[in-house]
Amino acid sequence: MPKKAADRGTASNGVTTPDWPALRPLAPTADLSPEVLVEGQIVVIRNLLTSTLCSRYVSFLSSLSLITTPGPKKGEAVRVNDRFQIQDATFAHHLWTDTGLHDLVTQSAGWGAVPCGLNPNIRIYRYRKGQFFDQHYDEANTVMAGSPPLPARTTWTLLIYLTGAATGCVGGETVFYPEASARRAGRVDPLAIAPEVGMALLHKHGEDCMLHEGKLVDAGEKWVIRSDLCVPRKTKLYSINHVDIYIYGSIPPPQTTIYLESNHIIQTLPPSLLQTWLAERFRRLNTSVPVEPSKLPVEYATLRTLDLSWYNEGSERKAALAEELRLGMTTQGFFTLINHGASMEDIERQVDIAHHIITNTPPEEKQKLKAPI
């Protein structure tokens, strides 16, 4: 069975944050564009990093202490390469914004939800001759991502190749294998993507991850910067009239632009408007908790039952219903309604609204409304 990729050992391993070289020079973002290789699955952005920048990075990264993979744990894919790993939210932020990745990704659709940044878990891979990453799937993880950081989920793997054929790297293709369903739909051949200097490869991971591998390098070196696209985790905020409202991000306090999803509508709110917007639409109610039935020996009255369906059953029934209502109001003062068509959810909400008003109105306000009885 294909394995999942190992994702252990983070900055808590005591590694010092590298003094990353500035991400310059770069090509103007307007000259770059995402190229979809497999719809909803694989996208590349050529020349995201310039060759000058890539070679500067390779020299710099070569000075870091890379660790050759220890043997895989049970259930993990075989990965034989040299690796450096660090939790670095600042570098992740620079990689996301300075390179234009943020603009390129957020201006195009198809990422599932609007990404908020990159996984601060930065991994550097170096594959030398004979090294490879066996077939596996990448798992989605829960992380803090974006600036300011929000609880988020990783959704797409990001690989930025720093070397390729132009630098003497032979082999090392990242190969994707169509699943049985795709093969049935006629996509038979695996898709091999050769490392190309400065090219970013994004592929969907988690439940939709395609089986893939990093092929054996035959000559030269393959260098990769690895991170992931992250989308803020969404929390169901409210459900009203069968419409679910989700909020991405955290409240309170609003820290960033918030995306609200109501069925298919996504609304973007600047933080300054969020509190008012929420207060207007989703006033939180004090939930009414029904009181326990009394254990005291009280006299019970049998309430009249009013069947509202009578209202539509001719004038005679309608008049009878009116008479029942009159009797209910002039005797016990209460009655039971049946066949009213209101759902239990609606009834509970109305009870909560009444309870909310009663419990939140100050006594002096109530006094003003006291009935003269």
Q: Which residues bind ligand AKG (CB under 6 A)?
A: 5, 125, 133, 138, 157, 159, 174, 212, 214, 224, 226
Shortest CB 177 distance to ligand AKG, Å: 12
In the bound state, the residue with its beta carbon closest to ligand AKG is 214
3-state helix, strand, coil in the chain (%, to 5): 25, 30, 45
The 10 Å Cβ neighbour count of residue 102 is 18
| Distance between CA atoms of residues 195 and 15, nearest Å | 28
For residues 141 and 257, which CB has a smaller minimum distance to ligand AKG in the complex? 141
Shortest CB 159 distance to ligand AKG, Å: 6
Contact of 74 with 124, CB cutoff 8 Å: no
| Distance between CA atoms of residues 165 and 184, nearest Å | 33
CA-nearest of 123, 122, 121, 119 to 150 is 119
Residue in the structure block whose two tokens are 């989308």 = 231
- Residue 18 one-letter amino acid: P
Q: What are phi and psi of 6, to 5 degrees?
A: -70, 140
Shortest CB 274 distance to ligand AKG, Å: 37
For residues 146 and 164, which CB has a smaller minimum distance to ligand AKG in the complex? 164
Shortest CB 216 distance to ligand AKG, Å: 11
Distances (CA, A) of 152 to 105, 115, 119, 234, 264: 17, 9, 9, 8, 21
For residues 174 and 256, which CB has a smaller minimum distance to ligand AKG in the complex? 174
For residues 229 and 260, which CB has a smaller minimum distance to ligand AKG in the complex? 229
| Distance between CA atoms of residues 222 and 125, nearest Å | 8
Contacts of 88 (CB under 8 A, 6+ apart): 11, 17, 18, 20, 120, 122
For residues 101 and 274, which CB has a smaller minimum distance to ligand AKG in the complex? 101
**Radius of gyration, CA atoms only, the chain:** 31
For residues 45 and 306, which CB has a smaller minimum distance to ligand AKG in the complex? 45
Tokens of 287: 């939930």
For residues 139 and 244, which CB has a smaller minimum distance to ligand AKG in the complex? 139
Shortest CB 282 distance to ligand AKG, Å: 40
Shortest CB 39 distance to ligand AKG, Å: 20
Shortest CB 227 distance to ligand AKG, Å: 10
For residues 227 and 256, which CB has a smaller minimum distance to ligand AKG in the complex? 227
Shortest CB 167 distance to ligand AKG, Å: 15
| Distance between CA atoms of residues 372 and 297, nearest Å | 30
